[in-house]
Amino acid sequence: MRANEIQRFTYAERVVHWVVGVTFVFLLLTGLAFSYPKLFWLTSLVGGGAVARVLHPWVGIVFTVGLVFMVVLWIREMFLDRHDVEWLKAIRHYVAHQRDKVPPAGKYNAGQKLFFWVQSVSGVVFLVTGLLLWFPEGFLGLDPFGRGTLSAMRFLHYLATLGCGLFLIVHVYLGTVAYPGTARGMIDGKVTRGWAKLHHPQWHREKTGS
Amino acid sequence: MSNALAIKRISATPTPPPTIRSSPEYAKLVDIARCIGCKGCEVACKEWNELKVEPTVNFGSYQSHEDLSPDTWLLMRFRETEIDGNLNWLIKKDACLHCEEPGCLYACPAPGAIVQYENGIVDFNQENCIGCQYCVSGCPFDIPRFDKTTKRVYKCNMCIDRVEAGLEPACVKTCPTNAISWGTKDDMLALATGKVETLKERGFANAAVYDPTGVGGVHMMYVVPHGNRLAEYDLPEDPVASPGPIAALGTVKKIGSYLFGFGIVGALLHLLAVGPESPENESGVPGGN
């Protein structure tokens, strides 16, 4: 590691992040294809509608397992505190790149923490509704064929997708083009000190003592 | 394209259906009062459609099978019940009703897997089916059945291949008592009205035509002798094509599509407005940290 670098993510964290990330993008694209006839062509990317339908739940299982590991790895760092509330109140300035008016963030800012919680809670919704949709003739003795039950499951499954999908757009945008140097933290695990000082000043202080 | 196969509705397809020609709507009329329970229609259905024979088991009913299956598109359901102190046999010809507003088609996410022809027949194209079974939950009559081997869904297609050739469906053809009739929807409605009148004269005060409006009417109607006992016939009182959750899903998907769009466009506009933010910008020294 060079002198101007700080370790941000461990190998395990990076692997888990990409397991969840890659499977989620797969699930999002195939799911959108099932939701929007105009996007059905996306299924051809994975071999057609029937193939997408078969793969979607299995990939969902991998996603869920990844998410469990992610929660285990990160949950202690993700609880929001008073500091985060202040940060959220100043989000307007954060968006406008007025750093001097934004309370200094720790290792994760409140937006990242919220993304974690939206993704985790949605993970439970995805799993429960997804299993019922996967085995509509009855899962674990349940008979969800009461008229409208499965449609309600589709509704909840979509709602969770909407929440996660919107956060994902922001996450990918900020992590790549908007904040150069960020994506690296999820590839080789390192970030520069300058990056840390700019985006996570509180964490920078803790890591460097300066 | 033959006129009989003119398509009125097509699943998961954003463009309008191709048909510019119109054709009369056809309908089957099942006069339950005339049914003698011979199940000849079940056999005719199996034969014409070349569906696998499924072994029957005695489960204490006159019924051949307990339920519909991917290989059994038509099942005569028999319910014994007591009406005015007498034993009555309530019979239902359980098969696709070919709704004018097909809940299955509305629920289907696979383009072209479900079509509705101008003549009113709702048909599954298994080659386009992705096996999600949303049609099963979308059907108010619990008709479509999923095949675990082929992973596709099957149901009565009203012998579309016969109808196309100007013939009546196989069950109609075979019925020895003319309990099943076939013709234009208008003719069948007129026939049904006459049959109900006759039944009322014979003392069936509650005789009724079953052509539920919640699904826009159906293309397999019933003349029900005891019209006040629909539930006992296993006929839903008030079936609807798009129940609450489906309608709500449609609305939230519409809103969602705009939010996703705004999200992507918003991110691009934000980038153009304030540009990327990196430590280099702050210090003014390229690569300097």
- pLDDT tens digits, residue range B3-27? 556 889 999 998 888 887 778 899 9
What digits encode the pLDDT tens for the residues B68-110?
A: 999 999 999 999 999 989 999 999 999 999 999 999 999 999 9
A15 pLDDT more than 90: yes
**Minimal-distance CA residue of chain A relative to B259:** A166
Residue A198, chain B, CB below 8 Å: the answer is yes
Give the per-residue pLDDT at B288: 40
**Minimal-distance CA residue of chain A relative to B288:** A194
Residue A68, chain B, CB below 8 Å: the answer is no
In whole angstroms, what separates CA A113 from the centre of its chain? Answer: 10
Give the per-residue pLDDT at A140: 55
What digits encode the pLDDT tens for the residues A108-153?
A: 999 999 999 999 999 999 999 999 899 887 665 555 555 567 888 8
Look at phi and psi of residue A162 and say left if phi exceeds 0, alpha if psi is from -120 to 50, else beta. Answer: alpha
**pLDDT above 90 as % of chain B:** 80
Give the per-residue pLDDT at A147: 57
Query: Which of A40, A169, A198 shows the shortest C-beta gap to B279?
Result: A198
10 Å CB burial of residue A164 (0-12, 13-18, 19+) is buried
Give the per-residue pLDDT at A1: 74
| Tokens representing residue B216 in the block | 């826009």
CB atoms within 10 A of CB B214: 17
Known catalytic residue: A171? yes
Give the per-residue pLDDT at B289: 40
Query: Rounded to 5 degrees, what angle do the CA atoms A149, A155, A160 make?
Result: 130
A49 to chain B: which residues are within 8 Å by CB?
110-111, 128, 130
Residue B236's SS3 state is: coil
- Strand partners for B220: B28
A27 pLDDT more than 90: yes
Residue A210, chain B, CB below 8 Å: the answer is no
Of A83, A93, A171, A204, the catalytic one is A171
- Report d(CA A140, CA A24) in Å as an integer: 26
How many CB pairs below 8 A link A and B? 131
Give the per-residue pLDDT at A77: 95
**pLDDT above 70 as % of chain B:** 95
Residue A194, chain B, CB below 8 Å: the answer is yes
Question: If you search the block for the tokens 């920078």, which residue do you land on?
Answer: A204
B83 CA: distance to closest CA in chain A (Å): 28
A124 CA: distance to closest CA in chain B (Å): 19
Residue A170, chain B, CB below 8 Å: the answer is yes
- Report d(CA B288, CA B284) in Å as an integer: 8
Give the per-residue pLDDT at B32: 96
Query: Rounded to 5 degrees, what angle do the CA atoms B53, B58, B60 make?
Result: 135
Residue A137, chain B, CB below 8 Å: the answer is yes
What does pLDDT average to over chain B? 91
Inter-CA distances, B167 with A65, B28, B29, Å? 56, 13, 15
Query: Which of B14, B137, B246 shows the shortest C-beta gap to A136?
Result: B137
- By DSSP bridging, strand B75-83 and strand B86-94 are antiparallel
As for the ipTM of the complex, it is: 0.90
How far the first Cα of chain A sits from its last, in Å, is 19
pLDDT band at B31; cut points 50, 70, 90: very high
Helices (H) and strands (E) in chain A, counts: 8, 2
A152 to chain B: which residues are within 8 Å by CB?
245
Average of per-residue pLDDT across A191-201: 94
- Whether residues B109 and A35 touch (CB distance < 8 A) is answered with yes
pLDDT band at A99; cut points 50, 70, 90: confident
What digits encode the pLDDT tens for the residues A47-92?
A: 999 999 999 999 999 999 999 999 999 999 999 999 999 999 999 9
- Whether residues B252 and A155 touch (CB distance < 8 A) is answered with yes
pLDDT band at B287; cut points 50, 70, 90: very low
- Whether residues B137 and A149 touch (CB distance < 8 A) is answered with yes
A193 pLDDT more than 80: yes
A155 to chain B: which residues are within 8 Å by CB?
245, 248-249, 252
Stretch (H or E) spanning B80: strand B75-83
DSSP H stretches of helix in A2-75: 11-35, 49-74
Give B203 or A210, the one with higher predicted confidence. B203
**Minimal-distance CA residue of chain B relative to A47:** B130
Give the per-residue pLDDT at B59: 93
pLDDT band at B1; cut points 50, 70, 90: very low
Give the per-residue pLDDT at B284: 42
Query: Rounded to 5 degrees, what angle do the CA atoms B155, B13, A37 make?
Result: 105
- Whether residues B134 and A137 touch (CB distance < 8 A) is answered with no
